[in-house]
Amino acid sequence: MNLVTSVISEPSVDSEEAIARDIAAVGKLSIVPRLLKLLCDNTGMGYAAIARVTDETWTACAVEDRIQFGLGPGGQLDLKTTLCYESRQIRRPIAFDHASEDPTFRDHHTPRIYKLESYISVPIIRPDGSYFGNLCAIDPNPAQVSDVRTVNMFTALADMIALQLSIDEAYEAAHQEVAEQRATAGLREQFIAVLGHDLRNPLAAIATTAELLARRPQPQDQKLAERLRSSTRRMSGLIDNLMDFARARLGSGIGVEIRSAVDLTAALSAVVDEARAAHPQMVIQDHIRVDAPVACDPPRIQQLLSNLLGNACHHGDAEQPVLVSALTDHGTLEISVRNRGGGIPPEDLQKIFQPYWRPATSKPGGGLGLGLYICSEIVKAHGGELVATSTVEGGTCFTARLPISR
């Protein structure tokens, strides 16, 4: 049964281009289908959706439909027939378990129009405070969705969606500006403004949600928890790179705290283990033996190796191993990461350490083009050099050479 035939809205005044862009932005989030399925599984609701809600329109961007509600991505409803309209006005969740018995909603037009008994809608608000839409679920039968635990789960996932949309939008904006060769100062101010909204608070909520899911015995929850962890790691890395970039450009380079590191072998080996966990499809072989104390900032050296490894795993051939080496010799610490792939054209080798630069052939879902720039700044702050070589036959190798004493 199609429940929405009689209430599909007339064409909206919002531009079709803007609506299509919003639907595409949600569609790029690979975790969304799994997330909507999880919400239906855990609540018993038959229809879950991410909706773009403006002052005048309600548009479905992604759906999980188990009750033949009849509204897919791109479908629109008359905004004022929805409770998302009211949720947007008050910027708070709305939820009820049994409309016909609820004193507030038993006479409300929305459950009557759509023949609903249970309903939940939570705002999706970007870190900058702008309203994207709602994460919502409905069902013609009663269901327990108004309890604090369920509302908090919806809220945490709505925050995750808002954060990921903001990061993706920031990347697209930066990429477009770089392509148009706009001023670096303007880009820096834009990203500092994004960071000024304290993206780490919603990121912490997402990480907490992932840990709660990981404790559940269901395999599907375990998989979703790992996806959330992976997204959290990626978002945290993006934020770290942006903050390092801002510090480097506004100050005199990336700050380091030099001390004598006597167990750099263990620190670098831990980074390799983290990379193996984050990229299970790749084989990473390491030869790490740092025999002498090194005057360095250990967390920054770990960051250097982590960025190089992430770059190698993202661009390398999954059928070939990534090779990691860290050795001390003749007063120098040499760290190298090699991967097999198509090679980097000579003209691109001159650009790879520039901020925001990414090759035209770069895979979707990569970073902001700051990782190698941050690596070069870390090496520079240690008085060393970072070089790259690349051939089709030999693969691509990044080598950092740092003095072990200062």
Write the CA distances from 137 to 63, 64, 290, 359, integer angstroms: 9, 9, 55, 41
For the cut 90, the answer to whether the pLDDT of residue 382 exceeds it is yes
The Cα–Cα gap between 342 and 391 comes to 8
Per-residue confidence (pLDDT) for residue 247, from 0 to 100: 63
Return the percentage of the chain with pLDDT > 70, whole number: 81
Per-residue confidence (pLDDT) for residue 36, from 0 to 100: 95
For the cut 90, the answer to whether the pLDDT of residue 227 exceeds it is no
Going by C-beta distance under 8 Å and a sequence separation of 6 or more, which residues neighbour residue 114? 3, 4, 7, 81, 138
Q: Which of 6-15, 91-100, 360-369, 381-390 has the lowest mean pLDDT?
A: 6-15
Could you tell me which residue, 32 or 278, shows the higher pLDDT? 32
Beta bridge partners of 123: 134
Going by C-beta distance under 8 Å and a sequence separation of 6 or more, which residues neighbour residue 131? 53, 88, 91, 123, 124, 125
For the cut 70, the answer to whether the pLDDT of residue 238 exceeds it is no
3-class secondary structure, 62? strand
Could you tell me which residue, 1 or 399, shows the higher pLDDT? 399
Per-residue confidence (pLDDT) for residue 252, from 0 to 100: 57
For the cut 80, the answer to whether the pLDDT of residue 234 exceeds it is no
Q: Are 337 and 312 in contact (CB under 8 A)?
A: yes
| Structural domains in the chain plus CATH codes | 5-235 (3.30.450.40), 259-403 (3.30.565.10)
Could you tell me which residue, 398 or 365, shows the higher pLDDT? 398
For the cut 80, the answer to whether the pLDDT of residue 356 exceeds it is no
Could you tell me which residue, 280 or 244, shows the higher pLDDT? 280
Per-residue confidence (pLDDT) for residue 193, from 0 to 100: 46
Per-residue confidence (pLDDT) for residue 137, from 0 to 100: 97
Per-residue confidence (pLDDT) for residue 185, from 0 to 100: 56
The H or E element that residue 305 is part of is helix 298-315
Per-residue confidence (pLDDT) for residue 191, from 0 to 100: 59
Per-residue confidence (pLDDT) for residue 363, from 0 to 100: 55
Per-residue confidence (pLDDT) for residue 3, from 0 to 100: 45
For the cut 70, the answer to whether the pLDDT of residue 19 exceeds it is yes
Residue type for 156, please?
A
Could you tell me which residue, 337 or 366, shows the higher pLDDT? 337
**With left for phi above 0 and alpha for psi between -120 and 50, is residue 115 left, alpha or beta?**
left
The Cα–Cα gap between 87 and 122 comes to 7
Mean pLDDT, the chain, as a whole number?
Answer: 84
Per-residue confidence (pLDDT) for residue 106, from 0 to 100: 93
Return the percentage of the chain with pLDDT > 90, whole number: 51
Confidence of residue 4 (pLDDT cuts 50, 70, 90): very low
For the cut 90, the answer to whether the pLDDT of residue 206 exceeds it is no
Tens of pLDDT along 89-119?
Answer: 999 999 999 999 999 999 999 999 999 999 9
For the cut 90, the answer to whether the pLDDT of residue 68 exceeds it is yes
Tens of pLDDT along 149-192?
Answer: 999 999 999 999 999 898 888 887 777 766 665 555 555 555 55
